[in-house]
Amino acid sequence: MTGCSSGFGHALAEAALLAGDLVIATARNRADVEMLEHVGAGRCQIMALDVTQPEQVKTVIREAQAVWGKLDVVVNNAGYGLLGAVEECSEKQVRRNFETNFFGPLHIIQAVAPILREQKRGHIINISAAAAIANYPGFGIYGAAKAALEAMSESLRLELAGYGVKVTLVQPGPFRTRFIGKGMERTTISEAYAGSVGKFATYLEKVDGKQPGDPERAAALIVKLVHEGTAPFRLPLGKYAIKKARDTAAARVKELEVWEEAASKTDVPAS
């Protein structure tokens, strides 16, 4: 499990331990997850892991497999936000965000897939975001990284299905984690984007700490669904994300109906 120092990662590690599971909890800084060892009472091993370092990922996955002799559930949670207009995000910021939010999970998946295939069982859980359902001004890069994770997960699910390996995308709405306060990089917002990106930034500041989502309840649900074997491919969490998924789907169908006739005529005419 990656990104266990706070937020969903920490809540999921605790929920799994409370359910009696064996847990490998990772974070960039080992000290940030040491308290989980005490919660686990011998059922939790902690390891330092930077998901942007492919060779380190391979080493940690090998060590994790050796600890318990198998890997049942792999959670890709490590990530952070980037708030800024698409035009105003630097290439360095964009690449760094993709390195963590997309390439990080990719490194993990490429390291664990051979193990899970050989076991002929397992479950990969990728933590996405409501921004991948439909995005906001200011989250263009962050949402793009999460959308890439979702598209990759769609293929991954089909590729691993024949080996008994499941894939789940978790799409949290606004939850009371440290994401807004400490889990987000911010760019300087120019006057040109004050009415869009700036407005969204102000909204985030106002809701921080007041979000309706409870990470502990979400973690408990995820662990329950995994144990029952009933976890869906997409799991929007919280009323906000559920409504967003419904509204987005309805809007896309409505748009499709407007252009369906004209768009269908671009096929080669039937002979």
Answer positive or negative: Cα dihedral of 59, 29, 211, 189.
negative
- Give me the catalytic one of 6, 80, 92, 146: 146
Q: Which residue in 70, 80, 90, 128 is the catalytic one?
A: 128
Distance CA 104, CA 148 (A): 12
What tokens does 42 get? Answer: 């011998």
Radius of gyration of the chain (CA): 20
Tell me which of 58, 80, 92, 142 is the catalytic residue. Answer: 142
Known active-site residue 146: yes
- Helix/strand/coil (H, E, C) string of 116-180? HHHHCCEEEEEECCHHHCCCCCCCHHHHHHHHHHHHHHHHHHHHHHHHCEEEEEEEECCECCCHH
120 is an active site residue: no
Task: Give, for 190, the enclosing helix (H) or strand (E).
Answer: none
> In the annotation, is 6 catalytic?
no
Active site residues: 128, 142, 146
